[in-house]
Amino acid sequence: MTQRLLARGILLVLFWGLVSSSAWAQGTSQGGAIDRYAAGSSRNARSSRSSSAPRGMDRNPTPQFMQELTTGVYWYQPTSSSMGSGLLLQGFNYSPRYAFWSPNDLMSLSGGTNLGLALQWSNFGSLFMVNVPMLVEFNLGRGSMADRDDAVGVFGGLGLEYNFINNFWADGGNLNQWGWLYSAGARVLMGGRPYVVRFSQSIGTPNQNIRVTHVGLGTSLY
């Protein structure tokens, strides 16, 4: 009788131990899940605060170097009909620029050029064109900084340009001309590819005999 009671007591103790261990393990796993959820919630809260901040205000950007390649046309139009007809050339352009001021990565001021070169052969001889503008441009959105992921950006600016074309005049003289110009354009991301459209035109001063208009289309290299 005593042995049976002792055996029953041992079984009850073992059963109670198993139940207690199971309950403790379940509570521990739930606590771990709660701890993980709390940690995740705190991380998400920080992320939400970061994402709710205005775009372009979330970091201190540093000046950056950017560049573009385009191809387009140059229209050289005399300011007086007595100087003869205009000249249309297809050119290729390399546009390096440096964003030297940016209060945030949404906008910037950049300094650079849109170096244009063109060659044309005909029965009347060959023409060689060099167009060298020095530009200061305001950039907004895409292209303001190299790491902007906006779908669209715009820009515009002013500058000073030099134009040279050999055998430009009817008497075989070369065109050598300095003058002011303005520029404008857009940068667009389409189909995962970055495109840039650029327009520029000489203002007509100081004493420009030829008005130069340029339209180009190309891609960004950043």
What is the C-alpha to C-alpha distance for residues 91 and 117, in angstroms, rounded to an integer?
5
Region 143-168: what's the mean pLDDT? 93
- 94 occurs within a structural domain: yes
- Based on the domain organization, do 116 and 184 belong to the same domain? yes
- Within this chain, do residues 118 and 216 fall inside the same structural domain, yes or no? yes
Domain of residue 14: give its range. Answer: 1-52
pLDDT (tens digit per residue) in 167-218: 888 788 899 999 999 999 999 999 989 999 999 999 876 667 899 999 999 9
58: in domain: no
- How far, in Å, are 26, 41, 178 from residue 85 at the CA level? 91, 71, 20
- Is there a contact between 204 and 211 (Cβ–Cβ < 8 Å)? yes
DSSP states along 99-168? EEEEEETTEEEEEEE-EEEEEEEETTEEEEEEEEEEEEEEEEETTSSTT---SEEEEEEEEEEEEEETT-
pTM over 0.95: no
The CATH number of whichever domain residue 94 belongs to comes to 2.40.160.20
Say if residues 144 and 99 touch (Cβ distance below 8 Å). Answer: yes
User: What pLDDT, in 10s, does the model give residues 113-139?
Assistant: 999 999 887 665 788 999 999 999 999
Strands 87-104 and 175-190: unpaired
Choice between 221 and 48, residue whose per-residue pLDDT is larger: 221
Q: Looking at the domain assignment, is residue 6 inside a domain?
A: yes
Q: Are 20 and 72 contained in the same domain?
A: no
Within a 10 A sphere around the Cβ of 115, how many other Cβ atoms? 15
Q: Beta strand pairing status for 193-202 and 115-122?
A: unpaired
